[in-house]
Amino acid sequence: MALVRAAYARHQGPVLRSRLATLLLVCDAFDDLVTLLSPHEDLTFLEEMLLAQACLARETLEDADQARRSTNRALALATSDVQRAAALALRGKTETRLGAVEAARATLEHALRYDPHERDACKRLAALDLAANDPAAVLTMVDALTMRGAAHARLFAARALALAQTGAIEAARIATGQGAAGQGPTGEDDLTAMATLAPPPGWDDIHAFNAALADELLAHPGLRYERYGTASALTWRIDSPATREAPLVRLLLAQIADAIAAQLDRITGLDHPWARARPAAAMLRSWCVITESDGFETWHVHQFGWLSGVYYVRVPDSITHGEDPGGCLAFGIPEDLVGDDAAAAFGTRTVRPYDGLMLAFPSHTYHRTFPHGLREKRICVAFDLRPL
């Protein structure tokens, strides 16, 4: 960041400006980004989109209106249907923020006409219809997008949420990959895999490996507190832990890749929309989440993934052997999207973590964690298998 700032101070060209703006957004420096881009009238499509996101992150109505204007300029600058859809999806968010719900709905529908694969537009339109207690509209949207070739986490999640809101709880559970009620964790409809990883080559004991890995993560130069726009609250994160300076992270990811291969063998031929959407090629993306007493994750899915999961590096004993949900992972559906009654009927499945446990599940499966209230740290590495 400092190097790019210094370079831009010496030569304020459009290439460096765009690079600096991107870094400012990643670093949550929203005020600096708005200050950087707002005076210019020659912004690119990317810069208008970055400016809109930064304005929205400041969370005032005035900034939301500025973001709306930026998305309109981005739409005018777009050179492809994918870009037009992205600009409209973001404009729909600004309109929702401004209370213009019907305008937002029309904008998001317009985005999906340009690009049926636009995840954010799908997510936001589904949320509007669920808030209006119109799950039939969500199911109609999902069917239409599926007919046009869409198959992503937001689409699968929208179907499950709509089914739950209609009262079709068993169908919703199967859609999320959690299995029918009363079915054990290895039931045929349960798409979650749980395993204790073996130590990687060169290590005889997984506990010794985890202890060394925890030290490596806690000393990682990418460690930062909080990250706007993620499901993490009051947590420490490493967005890209697999660096050359983190050899144990790379060893872990190799073990995770082997475990994923075993999971893929298990689901081969499975008759489920998610399994049928298995990507021909994918990349493994990872990040680290470290929670202290108050940290937790809100209900979320991993919209860019197909298969997601978590590996527990360090879990305090009182979580592993406890009785309350503090520090645990829960699968379910969010009350704020489907309503309390539907969420309660769907139910929550809680997994009590321990050092060395790895879970893998469909990326569209909603999950969350709870504050553990302890002085000790809980350390995990999350991952996505992302289609290329």
Domain boundary, last residue among 90, 113, 136: 113
Q: Is residue 62 within 8 Å of residue 95, measured between CB atoms?
A: no
Return the CATH number at 17.
1.25.40.10
* In the predicted structure, residue 56 carries a pLDDT above the cut 70: yes
Q: What average pLDDT score do residues 277-295 get?
A: 97
**Is residue 201 assigned to a domain?**
yes
**Is residue 179 assigned to a domain?**
no
Tokens of 383: 């991952």
**Is residue 226 assigned to a domain?**
yes
* Same-domain pairing of 264 and 383: yes
Domain boundary, last residue among 44, 78, 113: 113
* Same-domain pairing of 229 and 329: yes
* Same-domain pairing of 108 and 200: no
- When pLDDT is cut at 50, 70 and 90, the band that residue 135 belongs to is very high
* Same-domain pairing of 204 and 105: no
- When pLDDT is cut at 50, 70 and 90, the band that residue 40 belongs to is very high
Domain that includes residue 295, residue range: 193-387
Q: How many domains does the chain have?
A: 2
* Same-domain pairing of 75 and 222: no
| Beta strands, E only, the chain | 193-196, 223-225, 232-238, 282-297, 307-314, 329-331, 349-351, 357-362, 367-369, 378-387
**Is residue 252 assigned to a domain?**
yes
Name which of 145, 132, 108 is nearest 337 in CA terms. Answer: 132
Give CA–CA dist 214/235, Å, rounded. 16
Is this structure's pTM higher than 0.85? yes
**Is residue 265 assigned to a domain?**
yes
Q: What average pLDDT score do residues 313-329 get?
A: 97
Return the CATH number at 244.
2.60.120.620
* In the predicted structure, residue 183 carries a pLDDT above the cut 50: no
- DSSP character at residue 300: B
- DSSP character at residue 248: H
* Same-domain pairing of 67 and 202: no
Give CA–CA dist 175/179, Å, rounded. 8
- When pLDDT is cut at 50, 70 and 90, the band that residue 180 belongs to is low
**Is residue 165 assigned to a domain?**
no
- When pLDDT is cut at 50, 70 and 90, the band that residue 1 belongs to is confident
**Is residue 234 assigned to a domain?**
yes
* Same-domain pairing of 83 and 221: no
Domain boundary, last residue among 87, 113, 139: 113
Q: pLDDT digits over 138-175, tens only? A: 999 999 999 999 999 999 999 999 999 999 999 999 99
* Same-domain pairing of 305 and 201: yes
Express as a percent the part of the chain with pLDDT over 90: 92
Q: Is the dihedral of CA 176, 266, 306, 232 positive or negative?
A: positive
Q: What phi and psi values does residue 367 have, to the nearest 5 degrees?
A: -150, 160
* Same-domain pairing of 107 and 10: yes
Give CA–CA dist 228/239, Å, rounded. 12
Q: What average pLDDT score do residues 312-323 get?
A: 97
Dump the DSSP string for 12-69: --HHHHHHHHHHHHHTT-HHHHHHHHTT-S---HHHHHHHHHHHHHT--HHHHHHHHH
**Is residue 275 assigned to a domain?**
yes
* In the predicted structure, residue 292 carries a pLDDT above the cut 90: yes
* Same-domain pairing of 82 and 199: no
* Same-domain pairing of 230 and 325: yes
The angle formed by the CA atoms of residues 133, 348 and 266, to the nearest 5 degrees, is 105
Q: pLDDT digits over 70-93, tens only? A: 999 999 999 999 999 999 999 999
* Same-domain pairing of 203 and 333: yes
